Amino acid sequence: MQKRRKLGRGVAVVGAGMSKFGMYKDKDSKYLFAEAFNEMLSSVDKGVDPNDIDALYLGNFTNDFFINQGHWGPIISDLIGLTPKPSTRTEGACAASALAFREGVFAIASGFYDMVLVGGVEEMSKRSTEEVAEGLAMAAIPYEKRVGFTFPGVFGATATAYFAKYGATREHLMNVTIKSHNNARFNPKAQFNASIRDIMDQRIKRCKERGEPVPAWRDEKEFLRDIAANPVVAWPMHLYDCCPISDGASCMLLVAEEMAKNFTDNPLYVVGIGQGSGKGMHAKDELTYFEATRYAAKEAYELSGLKPEDIQIAEVHDCFSIAELIHIEDLGFFKPGEGYKAVEEGLTRLDGPKPINTSGGLKCKGHPVGATGTGQLLEIWKQLRGEAGERQVPIKDLRIGAAHNLGGTGGTCTFTILEKR
C-alpha cells in the first residue's frame, strides 16, 4: 500500500553540468567530475559561491571494481574544495546518481541543508570488455548470474516476452534506435554524436577509401538488419540495441525553493519524486513491466498531483532498446502493449507530441553508470530552459519534464518530475 506523501520544504535546481560521455584513455573520474562541476558553476545564471554548498551526494556504481578505488565521496569533495562538508556516496546500480539527487532533495526538504551538490561519476573503460560485463552482471541477482544470464541477456529475455505478448518484433526495437540516434546527432556531449544515417555514410565512405566492397544498405533498417554491421549480443539484443561502455560525470545544484531566485530567474522546481524496488525475473508476475517503475511513478505523480499526460518530455532508461518500450508504458505515457506502436508512429520523436530521450538516450549519449541519473535530469534542465540547441523540442509552453532511471534489471527505479514556472 502506498502512502500519500509530502515534502516539508520545496527544492529547486539552479545549475547543472556534465562532461562529454565517452571512452577516455587519459581522463580519470576526478578530471571528468571537475569538468562537470565547472560547467555547473557557469550554468548558475547569477553565480554561486561553492563555499555555500552544505553537502555532496555522489552516485557511483562500482569504481571500486572498475578502477580499484572506493570511498569516492571524500575524494570528490577534496577535489572541488568541499572538505570538510559531509560527502556521501549512493548506489542503486544504474540509478546511483538519481538516488543522490533524491537524497539531496530530502536533505534540503528536511530543513537540514539549504544547498546541496548532487551528481555521479563512473570510469568503466579502463577494464576489458569482459571485465566490464562481469562488473555489470554483479547488478543482476545471483540466480540470474548462476544460470549464465548477462545484462543484455536479461533484457533479451524481456524482449522475447514482450514480443510474444504484444506481437512486436525486432523492427520495432530498431525504431527506438533510429530515433535516439537522430536526436544524438544534435548532442555534442553524446558518446555517439551521430545518426544511424551518419554512421552508414561514414562506413560507406571508409569502404570506398579502402577499395573494399561497398555495403548496399538502402536505409537504416537494412543497416540494422545486417549482422556484420549489427551483430547479436544476446538475441534479440544486437549491438545497436545496447548502450555502450562509457566514462563520464554529471552534477546538479539543488537549493531550497525559497532561495532559488537568488541564483536564477529560471529555476526548475522538483515537484514529484518517486522510488521503488523490484525482484529478479523469475520472481516477477510478468516480464513485460517493471514493478519498481510503476511504484516510483505512482509516488511521483501523487506527490506532484500530476498525471502521465502532463509530462511533456521525458528521459527514460534505455539501457537496451526494449527497455524504452516498456518504460513509456510503465510510466503511463502509453497503454501496456501500445508503446511499440507509438514509437512506430513517430509520437516519441523530437518533433512528436511526446518526445522521449531527446539527448539520444543511454544508447547514444552513453551510460557511465553512476553518472546517468543526473545526466538524464540535465537534459530535462536544458530542454525546460530552452537551452538544448539544435535538439530543442518545438513544444510551445514547455514546462514539465521528467527523468526515469532504472537500476540493474529493475531492482531499483527512480522517477523525478521537474517544473518550470
- Binding to other proteins, residues 92-151 (CB under 8 A): 92-93, 99, 102-103, 105-113, 134-135, 138-142
Contacts to other proteins from residues 379-408, by CB under 8 A? 407-408
Measured CA to CA, the distance from residue 66 to residue 151 in angstroms comes to: 17
Is-contact 369 253, C-beta < 8 A?
Answer: no
Residue 94 DSSP class: B
Nearer to other proteins, 114 or 198 (CB): 114
Closest distance of CB 181 from other proteins, Å? 29
Burial (CB count within 10 angstroms: exposed 0-12, middle 13-18, buried 19+), residue 26: exposed
Nearer to other proteins, 102 or 179 (CB): 102
Measured CA to CA, the distance from residue 368 to residue 94 in angstroms comes to: 9
Q: Count other Cβ atoms within 10 Å, centred on residue 87.
A: 21
Q: What is the dihedral of CA 301, 94, 74, 130, to 10 degrees?
A: 180
Nearer to other proteins, 55 or 362 (CB): 55
Contacts to other proteins from residues 23-52, by CB under 8 A? 26-28, 30-31, 34-35, 37-38, 41-42, 50-51
- Applying CB under 8 A, which of residues 15, 17, 74, 267 lies at the interface with other proteins? 74
Closest distance of CB 368 from other proteins, Å? 15
Binding status of residue 278 toward other proteins by CB under 8 A: yes
Binding status of residue 83 toward other proteins by CB under 8 A: yes
* The three three-digit cell numbers of residue 49, written as one number: 559561491
Closest distance of CB 292 from other proteins, Å? 6
- Applying CB under 8 A, which of residues 10, 23, 85, 197 lies at the interface with other proteins? 85
Strand spans (E) along 138-209: none
Instruction: Select the span of 64-72, 177-185, 191-199, 258-266 touching other proteins (CB under 8 A).
Output: 64-72
- Applying CB under 8 A, which of residues 91, 123, 329, 419 lies at the interface with other proteins? 91
Closest distance of CB 233 from other proteins, Å? 21
Closest distance of CB 259 from other proteins, Å? 14
Is-contact 87 81, C-beta < 8 A?
Answer: no
Is 94 tagged catalytic? yes
Is-contact 291 307, C-beta < 8 A?
Answer: no
Is 367 tagged catalytic? yes
Q: What is the DSSP string of 254-282?
A: EEEGGGGGGT-SS-EEEEEEEEEE---GG
Binding status of residue 301 toward other proteins by CB under 8 A: no
From the candidates 94, 243, 364, 413, which is the catalytic residue? 94
Measured CA to CA, the distance from residue 270 to residue 275 in angstroms comes to: 14
From the candidates 181, 238, 367, 404, which is the catalytic residue? 367
What are the two backbone dihedrals, phi and then psi, of residue 30, each rounded to the nearest 5 degrees? -65, -45
Instruction: Give the active site residues.
Output: 94, 367
